[in-house]
Amino acid sequence: MIKARTFRQEASGLFVPSAGRDAQRSAAIFDSLTGNVKSSVLFSTPTLPEDDSSAKTLHKALPAFCAAMVAAGWAVRYNKGVPRETQQGKGKQPGQNKRAGPVEGDIMMKKLLPFLCASALALSLTACAGTINNSTADTASNVTFTFTDSGVTAAGETDTGYEIDGTALTITSSGTYTVSGSCADGSIKVKKGTTGVTLVLDGLTLTSENTAAITCGKSSEVTILVSNGTENSLSDTEQNNDDNYPENENAENAVIKCKDGSTVTLCGDGELTITANGKNGIKSGATTDEDGEASLTIRDLTLNIDAPVNDAINAEQLLNVESGTLTIDAADDAIHCDLVLNIGADGTDGPTIDITNCCEGLEGAELNVCSGDITINASDDCLNAANSDLTDYDFTMTISGGAIDTYTSGGDGFDSNGDLTITGGTVIVWTDNTADNEPLDADGTITVSGGTVLAAGGSSGMGMNLEATQPCVIYGSD
């Protein structure tokens, strides 16, 4: 075993791609690499320009580092990063098993490391390019509503644009509506086709027994703004699930339900806790010809979701998690989108996402991680680019920035049904040593052209179609 101190002495020139904060982050990773040698590990770090004097240091450090590991009884092979087009045809052929052996010039390894830790590095992703609009809605309300167990009271400049039926509030026209109070069985609904609505949650505790606590109707445009400094709570009961309660015609299968064609933004500087006892925490619908384009955007707020039945967040069309602090415990998927899932955005710190328990962590047919600080503890795939309902689809997973620290007890670390591309960020992925699982797995090509990647675990060494365009070291025990 090589102690963490020896790692840094032998390889500081290799593992620290730049000075300052990034150097400290990279070095910190290797302080944590201690333990018995018994898994598979891929390590990859950015190349340096050949005309940079530090490049010579890098290339000299690699053999010294490898020699130190060999002396310790570890198997080592080194590749400076050979583009695929310069390699000779030992890659995976059509129809060949995706875990077939390594291609020439790629770096593979068998058997190594049990303990990994991560830190952060943010780069850009073309798919998420653009500037986040961090503006929030004007919180000066047209109408203020107060919920109690006996009803809803309204106060404000108008008595139109809404309907109250007991503890059920329906918004029928554009405006800013502030809601507060506490109710054991109530609901808020934005009527179909209503746009320009802002719901301000200002210390609201709301449970709905047989439907969603908040429903955004088809073709609606709604901003749900969690007021600064407030704590808010939304929940449902087991009756809000039409699979288990088919007689319940009001079931929406989510605490917050955003129907087909709705455009919903969940934002603000306050805290919102969602408890999904029925099925999902938040559900966003599909884009249709009749109802228009659908999307769900999450930014800024502190969002806690407990989903003991199904998914914490489930979208059908487009899901953008731009910023904020999310803590999630889910029985199934933590954050899922049938089509496009974007985490973070170009040039931003992105969200802080802590997924303490789930089956799968982040899942989308097109999964893009642009920035953020993400921790995942999963029983299946931590990141998954897939959708079993789509055929002949170009599934993609792209990591361009952020810090991702993941562990799975029974699945692949990162699993793409198409290509998997890493161009930046810091990626730490650990997969338990179980059959047919790998830390990095793709039906297409795995490309590592930037960032820092440590991928460890798996069943019997990594077999992948890997393109490495930067220096990589593969090491393991004999």
All residue ranges of the chain with pLDDT < 50 are 1-39, 47-140, 474-478
Report the run of H or E that residue 280 belongs to, with start and end.
strand 280-284
Q: How far apart are the first and last CA of the chain?
A: 12
Per-residue tokens: 464: 């992948």
What pTM does this model have?
A: 0.78
**HSE, side-chain direction, 13 A CA sphere, residue 4:** 13
Torsion on CA atoms 54, 55, 61, 66, rounded to nearest 10:
160
pLDDT of residue 88: 37
Bridge-based pairing of strands 466-468 and 231-236 is unpaired
In one letter, which amino acid is 135?
S
How much is the pLDDT for 158? 73
DSSP state of 470: S
Angle between helices 21-31 and 4-15 (to 10 degrees): 150
Q: Element (H or E) spanning 7, and its range?
A: helix 4-15
Rounded distance, CA 222 to CA 171, Å? 11
The total of other beta-carbon atoms located within 10 Å of residue 445's CB is 17
Q: What pLDDT is stored for residue 46 in this prediction?
A: 59
Instruction: Give the closest residue to 440 by CA, choosing from 408, 413, 475, 404.
Output: 413
The predicted structure's pLDDT at residue 14: 27
CA distance 355 to 227: 24
CA within 13 Å, CB half, 55: 10
**Cβ proximity of 194 and 174 under 8 Å:** yes
**Burial class of residue 87, CB neighbours in 10 A (0-12, 13-18, 19+):** middle
Q: Is residue 310 classed as helix, strand or coil in its secondary structure? A: coil
- Pull the structure tokens for residue 225: 């703004």
pLDDT at 107: 32
The CA-based dihedral angle spanning residues 454, 459, 464, 468, taken in that order and rounded to the nearest 10 degrees: 20
Place of tokens 């290339």: 59
CB-based burial, 172-189: b 16+ in 10 Å, e otherwise: beebbbbbbbebebbbbb
Q: What is the pLDDT of residue 469?
A: 83
Quote the CA–CA distance of 213 and 163 in Å, as a whole number: 16
